[in-house]
Amino acid sequence: MRVPKAGAMAVVVGLALTATGCGGDEGPKGTLSIGIKFDQPGVGLRETGGVFSGFDVDVATYIAKELGYKPEQIEFKKVDSSDRELLLQYNEVKFVAASYSISDKRKEKVDFAGPYFTAHQDLLVRADDNTITKAEDLNNRKLCSVSGSTSASNVKEKLAPKASLLELGGYSECVIALQDGQADAMTTDNSILAGYAAQKANAGKFKLVGLSLSNESYGIGVKKGNKELVDKINAALKKMVADGSWDAAVKKNFGPAYRSEPAPQITTGS
Ligand code: GLU
């Protein structure tokens, strides 16, 4: 989404304050805006009819409940890999739950709660392709990833600097590029790739190479300096693990074929 200029933003914020009659997003009433991905099955997906599904959706809904919001008070807003920091900086969302890896570079702009999940960068190729079995095989090949992601920067900086990298706005666009032959492979977290491979519409079309090219610790992004919210979210995440809801959400969203790891230790907050 586009972030309005400062003037327009003041109007938007003013309207939000009037509409909810409180600070907008943290009171017991009103709506809570949460940034999620809309096109990643199993992780964050807006299905036809406007129903949201995925592990990040379940985690976000649990956190919202712990913050005092009912599911109907949640407004899920679409984020892309490249605008997550901006949306937090401009108060467009209260927090981001969007396959968002904790990184030092991002920590300069936003704060993180968590981590709440560990993924690993992998490759998705066409089912009949046996030429790509390791990262180096990507050099001089066409590789698709998404702008603003750690997946794209890992490729450029270390994994396959000589690959010809096609950077698109979202992973579902890469899936189409891979299917159509505009890309030889796509790369991002195995959690995301597994979701595309498992979609009924993609049956028999793609396969994961099965590499573990990086460790991606998913965090909940919040506006920089909001320590109180980080601590509240961490408390919610710990409760979600302790009461079994985290395991249930992993099983429900990633299915039996995905080998997920136990919930990571929380390393953020006070
Ligand atoms: N987890 C990686 C990241 O935060 C890749 C997935 C994504 O782009 O959302 O960049």
The fourth-level CATH superfamily of domain 119-208 is: Periplasmic binding protein-like II (3.40.190.10)
Atom of ligand 1 lying closest to residue 37 CA: 9
Atom 10 of ligand 1, residue of closest alpha carbon: 149
pLDDT at position 250 over 80:
yes
| pTM of the shown model | 0.89
Q: Distance from the CA of 85 to the center of ligand 1, in angstroms?
A: 12
Give 8's pLDDT tier (boundaries 50, 70, 90): very low
- Fold agreement (5-118+217-254, 119-208): yes
**Do 149 and 173 meet the contact criterion of CB atoms below 8 Å apart?**
no
Alpha helix positions (H), 26-121: 55-66, 84-89, 104-107
Indicate whether residue 150 lines ligand 1 (CB < 6 A). yes
Q: Domain residue spans in the chain? A: 5-118+217-254, 119-208
Q: Distance from the CA of 10 to the center of ligand 1, in angstroms?
A: 30
Q: What is the pLDDT of residues 147-193, one digit of tens each?
A: 999 999 999 899 999 999 999 999 999 999 999 999 999 999 999 99
CATH no., domain 5-118+217-254: 3.40.190.10
Instruction: Taking residues 96-123, report their average pLDDT.
Output: 97
